[in-house]
């Protein structure tokens, strides 16, 4: 990948991330439009664009998958572009990507499937300029469901990959 295309990707990523953020901000009351550290919000709250809470709630820390799939869908790619953007800006954070599956599968297969999902997320983030060394992956298979009903509404929430931020050692 040459420098030019990289920049192109970055611009695209920023543009898309912007769209995504504005959507999220719309829900949050538009409080985040100010620059970072402007003092218009409490440090560490979701309104602080450098906070973990902001990453979780405004950027979106998870992407969902279709049944038995590990390919990213449109919505997932938008979320990940925003994540990439955030990680590029906040280099003090590393991330562990946790892959999960719904309960409709055997234990071992679901572990492997969760690993595939986590890996798909990692590859995407790396392709958007995040250093691979900042990202690690783990799968929980079906061991840690978020929703516990045995219906598609819950399964859909459980087929996920969650980007969990870890502060760098010196932070």
Partner 1 sequence: MMRFLAALLMGLTVLGQMAYAQSGPLRIEITDGVVEPLPYAVPDFVAENSAAGGYAKQLAQVIASDLSGTGLFREIPEKAHIAKITSFSAPVQFVDWKAINAQALITGAVSVSGGNLEVKFRVYDVFAGQELGNGLRFKGTVEGWRRMAHKVADAVYSRITGEGGYFDSRVVFVSETGPKSDRKKRLAIMDYDGANLQYLTDSSSIVLAPRFSPTGDKVLYTSYETGFPQVYILDVGSVQRRVLNSEAGTMSFAPRFAPDGKSLLLSITRDGNTDIYRMSLAGGAPKRLTASPAIDTAPSFSPDGSKIVFESDRSGTQQLYVMPAAGGEPKRISFGQGRYGTPVWSPRGDLIAFTKQNKGRFHIGVMRTDGSEERLLTASFLDEGPTWAPNGRVIMFTRETQGASGSSALYSVDVSGRNLRKVKITGGGSDPAWSPLQE
* Nearer residue to partner 1 within complex by CB, 70 or 85: 70
The number of residues that bind partner 1 (CB under 8 A) is 32
Question: Would you count residue 105 as binding partner 1 (CB under 8 A)?
Answer: yes
One-letter-per-residue 3-state SS of 3-23: HHHHHHHHHHHHHHHHHHHHH
Q: Give min distance, CB of 22 to partner 1, in A.
A: 32
Question: Would you count residue 72 as binding partner 1 (CB under 8 A)?
Answer: no
User: DSSP letters of 138-170?
Assistant: EEEETSS-S---SSHHHHHHHSEEEEEEEE-TT
For residues 97 and 163, give the distance between their C-alpha atoms in angstroms, rounded to a whole number: 4
Question: Would you count residue 167 as binding partner 1 (CB under 8 A)?
Answer: no
Q: Give min distance, CB of 8 to partner 1, in A.
A: 26
**For 29, phi and psi rounded to 5 degrees?**
95, 10
What residues line the site for partner 1 (CB under 8 A)? Answer: 68, 70, 103-109, 111-113, 115-116, 118-120, 122-123, 136-140, 143-150
């Amino acid at each position: 990948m040459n420098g030019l295309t990289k920049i192109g990707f970055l611009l695209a990523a920023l543009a898309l991330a912007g769209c995504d953020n504005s959507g999220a901000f719309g829900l949050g009351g538009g409080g985040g439009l100010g620059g970072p550290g402007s003092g218009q919000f409490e440090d560490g709250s979701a309104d602080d664009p450098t906070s973990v809470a902001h990453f979780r709630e405004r950027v979106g820390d998870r992407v969902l998958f279709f049944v038995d799939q590990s390919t990213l869908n449109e919505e997932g790619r938008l979320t990940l572009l925003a994540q990439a953007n955030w990680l590029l800006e906040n280099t003090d954070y590393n991330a562990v990507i946790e892959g999960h599956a719904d309960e409709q599968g055997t234990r071992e297969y679901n572990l492997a499937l969760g690993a595939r999902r986590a890996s798909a997320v990692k590859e995407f983030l790396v392709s958007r300029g995040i250093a691979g060394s900042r990202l690690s992956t783990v799968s929980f298979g079906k061991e840690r469901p978020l929703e516990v009903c045995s219906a598609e509404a819950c399964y859909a929430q459980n087929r996920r990959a969650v980007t969990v931020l870890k502060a760098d050692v010196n932070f």
